[in-house]
Amino acid sequence: MSPSEMLVAGRYREAAAIYETRIKKRPNDAGTIACYGDAMLCLRRFSRAADCYRHATAIESETLGGSQPYVEHVGVALWLHGRHQESIEILRSAVDGIADGSIEFADIAGGVTQGLLLWYAGVTAGDNTARDHALSYLRKLAKQPRIKYWPGPAALFVLGRKSPTTILRALCGTTDVERAMIDARSDLGKRRELVQALFYFAAKQRAEGGEDECLAGMRACASLANPVVELEWYLARAEAEGEIGPR
């Protein structure tokens, strides 16, 4: 079993030990360093995770100009560590870098991931400037053809242009959340997208004043097995356990 498979299976410490050994042999392997960061997120070692993602991003930026592949990971790790303002600043820098072209590589939807994370952080921190900046950014992305690719539909939901049922039907072939969650247990690809969908459904409840509904949605999201690479799952876990919430 590979260390990435170990992470999916919940064998976090074993995977971390393998990544540590590999990094000693190849200290400038950005991919391995980032994967070690994933293991640190799983183990709740958030400051260490942020350091790993920073290091991996620096290596990638040196070898491939315009690439900052883990900058949003840094932001989320810092958020989970309680450094909320610093996290918002980093997420905003990611959004601005994609918007002005200094960051050339983003997700297949054109950089939706960074905008959604900034929006969530702004809503949860009560930072209306960050929230509105994220919404303005997402509205611009919504005009591009790539918005049809995931997680583009999640952005359209946040903007009020798609319903939860429409998204669930497209992702899971059902509008029933419980049925979708059951199916996602055995389908990692489906689970990855469903985690993000449930997370932003919950966050939208918070944005509209439904805090109880938000927390119920976060608990549902976190109840799915960790898909490892979706940052939203770690945020939902922290929300469900009362570690973070609205300010």
pTM metric for this prediction: 0.96
Q: Long-range contacts for 130-135 (Cβ within 8 Å, ≥24 apart)?
A: 130/88, 130/91, 130/92, 131/207, 133/92, 133/95, 134/95, 135/159
* Nearest partner of 178 among 188, 187, 168, judged by Cα: 168
Q: pLDDT tens track of the chain, all 247 residues?
A: 999 999 999 999 999 999 999 999 999 999 999 999 999 999 999 999 999 999 999 999 887 777 788 999 999 999 999 999 999 999 999 999 999 999 987 899 999 999 999 999 999 999 999 999 999 999 999 999 999 999 999 999 999 999 999 999 999 999 999 999 999 999 999 999 999 999 999 999 999 999 999 999 999 999 999 999 999 999 999 999 997 655 5
Please list the residue range(s) of the chain that carry CATH number 1.25.40.10. 1-68
Q: What share of the chain is helix, strand, coil (3-state, %, to 5)?
A: 70, 0, 30
Distance CA 187, CA 194 (A): 10
CATH number assigned to the domain with residue range 1-68, chosen from the 4 options 1.25.40.10, 1.10.730.10, 3.40.50.20, 1.10.10.10: 1.25.40.10
Hey, how many other C-beta atoms are within 10 angstroms of the C-beta on 85? 13
At residue 68, the 3 state secondary structure works out as coil
